Structure 1
Amino acid sequence: MRNRRKFIYVFLFSLTSINYIDRVALSVAAQPIAHEFGISPIQMGFLLSSFIWTYFASLIVWGLALDRWGTRWVNAVGMAIFSLATVATGFAWSYMSILFTRLVMGAGEASSYPAGGKVIREWMPARERGIAAATLNSGSYAGPAIGAIIVSFAVQLFGWRIGFVLVGSAGAIWLACWLKWFRKPELASFIDDEERALILRERNGGLPDMPAGPTLSIGELLRSGSVWGLLITQAFCSYAQFLFLTWLPSYLQTERHLNIVKSGYFTALPYALSVILAIAIGRLSDRLLTTEACNRGGRRNVVAASMLLTAIVLVTPFVDNVWIMVAVFTLSLTGAQAGIAMNIALLGDLLPSSAEAGRATGLLITGGASFAMIAPIATGYVVAMTHSYNNAFYIAGVLALAGALVALLMTRTPIRRAGESAAVDLSASGLVSQER
């Protein structure tokens, strides 16, 4: 049997890479755009945050659409929308026109994570969910690393407008490949029958497929304490992620006095290193956790440990050496990346089936977006009022510590369908017993 499902890893990684390349373009080009249009730090904070407004509003809609119509076409539509919006940013003529293209981009980008979560739940055996989720989320860090270099050079050589056109055009190649090759495992032609049987047998953690019937509604999901634990953890982790994503290049340029190209490099390096480290954490979680432990939510321990690593951002104000600063950012970004990825994998572990994976992942990312939306704006106000980034780093670190505690205490039970008793007898499968 050949492991051809590795192609799905490529799709997952490149999906979020392109998504985040488009996001980071404005962060890298923020100074020349601010100079051209006379934008203040507070206005830039709103502009950097703007795509998250429509992103936040669209996540559950995309999740419901994915569960109804499937990932192939719904994800394709999302990619087309946000790629075209990024290209259009390069033709903007005012602050408001950039704001509009960013709002459209955010609405389209909201499709990616719900689609990725559903693909993982449909395609991956339970013992591979950790590395699959880490691969999906690693694209969100590889994207800024690649985008920071491409956009910084484009801005330096050709101006900021060309940078947006270049990165926005990458989505067309991905879209063509996706539509040509991607199908559900039941229909995919690039895997053989033996691998197909393995996926279908093990994607529920060895438990039998849930019988056909109503799937969990958004309301039923929100009645689960574990779901609320996942949402809060995602929110606190996403705050740190979006602090780095939206303000790191400006921090390096203003506080560390690096030029645009150097700030691009020093933004790219921590992101690139964190991709390798976070995938290693995902792989390690799959090796250490048994199927039984996954079904009981044991991955929450990896989530909590990752959040503690994120909190190392608290030491940033005390670091003077630029290379030590890179190490701190690398570790904190690794923790944030692994925390978000393992939280997505934990959601898959706790769901009863893949039928509601789209809406559940959409709901999870909505939790993250709630604080991601706040981070750029809050940082803009902090910088404007204190003329320093120190308090911005303190806020992110404290939230990460709180997220570790929430992950340990609130994500301990499976997510159940309406009518199922509190003591769902998972032990009937011969694999697990309900954790109290």
Structure 2
Amino acid sequence: MRAWGLTGVLVLLVVVNWADKAVFGLVAQPLAKEFGLTSAQIGLVGSAFFLAFTVGGFFAGVLHKWMSLRWLLVLLSLGWAASMIPLVVVAGFGMLLFTRMMLGFFEGPAGALVHTGVYSWHPAEKRGLPGAFLASGASIAKIAIAPLMALAVASWGWRATFVILAGVGVVWCVLWLFTWKEGPYMQRPVRESERETTTATDSVVVAKVPLTKIFFTPTFLGALAAVFTMYALITVVLTWL
């Protein structure tokens, strides 16, 4: 039961992640009206977010070597929350562009890291269902949370909505710190000095695989093409629709 409980906590993080993404599409028109933004500027902000998101994604592995997953996800979630507040205080196109890029950079590593956390509690042959639950977080945010955010924008304005999202991120951090424990299937790379001395431990030990070998596998290339198409559509939807 603990495995599924912690899976649920990480699904909640995915929901928060996608809610932070989706809010821009909901407030784009109020922001454009208040700040006098053009369609080109709105499009630039949307594109800049996903550019920073892409760059940030490359830091997932590096950051996980430096920090435990517990504190790394706290750092990212607080980064999302912090990116919501400056625009509330100092409004304008420059601040909007900066804060959305900041949000994108902090959200970039999250996808890989939440899978790392969930998979640490599920054996390889049983990871399909928890992986599907993680994927459902995006749909939950768009189907269930987006209408609530739209209602908040209509009732209290976009500033209050940004503050609420920041608060939700902080609340998730508290929940995470009180519940998270590394699972028995957490993987770590084998150092050269450990190859002959490593025995069975609490964590699963895996050998390092060169990135070039991964990048040119048919599985990776096929997934890359699928994700490229998916995010091309998501960029348009979350910015304009």
Bin the TM-score by the shorter chain: 0.7 to 0.9
Aligned residues: 227
The normalised TM-score by structure 1 is 0.48
Q: Distance in 1 between matches of 2:205 and 2:167?
A: 41
Question: In structure 2, what residue type is equivalent to 1:114?
Answer: A
The residue number in structure 2 matching 1:79 is 77
Structure 1: unaligned runs, 5 residues or longer: 187-198, 201-207, 249-436
User: Residue in 1 aligned with 2:2?
Assistant: 4
* Distance change >3 Å, CA 89–CA 218, structure 1 → 2: farther
Partner of 2:189: none
Deviates more, 1:53-62 or 1:147-156: 147-156
8 Å CA contact 1:78–1:110 kept in 2: the answer is no
After superposing the two structures, state which structure 1 stretch, 32-41 or 81-90, moved more: 81-90
- Name which structure has the greater RCO, CA cutoff 8 Å, separation 6+: 2
- Among residues 219, 227, 232, which one is paired with 2:212 in the alignment? 219
Select 2:88's aligned residue among 87, 90, 102.
Answer: 90
Contact 2:49 2:100 in 1 (8 A): yes
Letter in 1 for 2:158: W
Matched, 1:237 2:230: yes
1:25–1:151 CA contact under 8 A, matched in 2: yes
Matches within 5 A, 1:50-129: 50-67=48-65, 69-129=67-127
Q: CA RMSD in A?
A: 2.4
Larger radius of gyration: 1
SS of corresponding position for 2:177: helix
1:162 partner amino acid: A
- Secondary structure at the counterpart of residue 83 of structure 1: helix
1:384 aligns with none
CA distance in 1, matches of 2:86, 2:80: 10
Contact 2:83-2:99 at 8 Å conserved across structures: yes
Residue deviations 1:224-265 (CA, integer Å, cap 9, x gap): 2322222112211222233333322xxxxxxxxxxxxxxxxx
Paired with 1:99 and 1:236, the residues of 2 have a C-alpha distance of 24
Gap runs ≥5 in structure 2: 187-199
Check whether the contact 1:92–1:98 (CA below 8 A) recurs between aligned residues: no
**Identity among equivalent pairs (%):** 23
Equivalent AA in structure 2 for residue 223 of structure 1: F
* 1:130 maps to amino acid: G
Mapped contact 2:50–2:235 kept (Cα < 8 A): no
Aligned equivalents of 2:64, 2:35: Cα separation in 1: 39
User: Distance between the aligned counterparts of 1:244 and 1:71, measured in 2?
Assistant: 31
Is contact 1:24–1:147 with CA below 8 Å preserved after alignment? no
TM-score by length of 2: 0.84
Structure 2 distance, partners of 1:134, 1:238, is 18
Q: CA deviation at 1:35?
A: 0.7
Alignment of 1:137-148 (within 5 A): 137-148=135-146
Change (3 A) 1:143 1:212: closer
CA deviation after TM superposition for structure 1 residue 115, in Å? 0.8
Render the CA deviation track for 1:30-84: whole Å, top value 9, x for unaligned. Answer: 1111011111222211112322111111112123322553321111111110111
Question: Take 2:6 and 2:217, find their aligned partners in 1: how far apart are those partners?
Answer: 30
* Inter-partner Cα distance in structure 2 for 1:29 and 1:91: 16
